[in-house]
Amino acid sequence: MTTPQNTPAAPTPSTLGFRRSVRDRWIAGVCGGIAERTGLDPTLVRVLAVLLAVFGHLIGLIAYLAAWALVPEETPAAPAPPTAPPESTDTAV
């Protein structure tokens, strides 16, 4: 009989296919995450979001707020551990 191993659960992927950006954000990272996922310029995505919010009867604002609340933030890459300076091989007396 085998026992189940204690393996950590894999992170659940975003159902929308993108995550909120932590590197390219102005407010919540929604437009930055969409830009990273689609390959578009983040400024273009932000301009389109503002236009949709203003001229789309606030549908863009509601969609942005919903994405802010529902889309998970991307996990930032772990920083590299600090490296020790190379030790000198000189043995001066």
pLDDT score for 63: 85
pTM: 0.58
pLDDT tens for each residue of 41-81: 888 988 988 888 889 888 888 888 888 888 777 776 656 56
Q: Which residue has the higher pLDDT, 83 or 34?
A: 34
Asked if residue 35 belongs to a domain, the reply is: yes
How many domains would you assign to the chain?
1
Q: What tens digit of pLDDT does each residue of 13-29 get?
A: 545 577 777 777 788 88
> Where in the sequence is the domain holding 40, given as residue range(s)?
16-74
Tokens of 72: 């998970």
Assess if residue 21 is contained within a domain. yes
User: Are 37 and 90 within 8 A, CB to CB?
Assistant: no
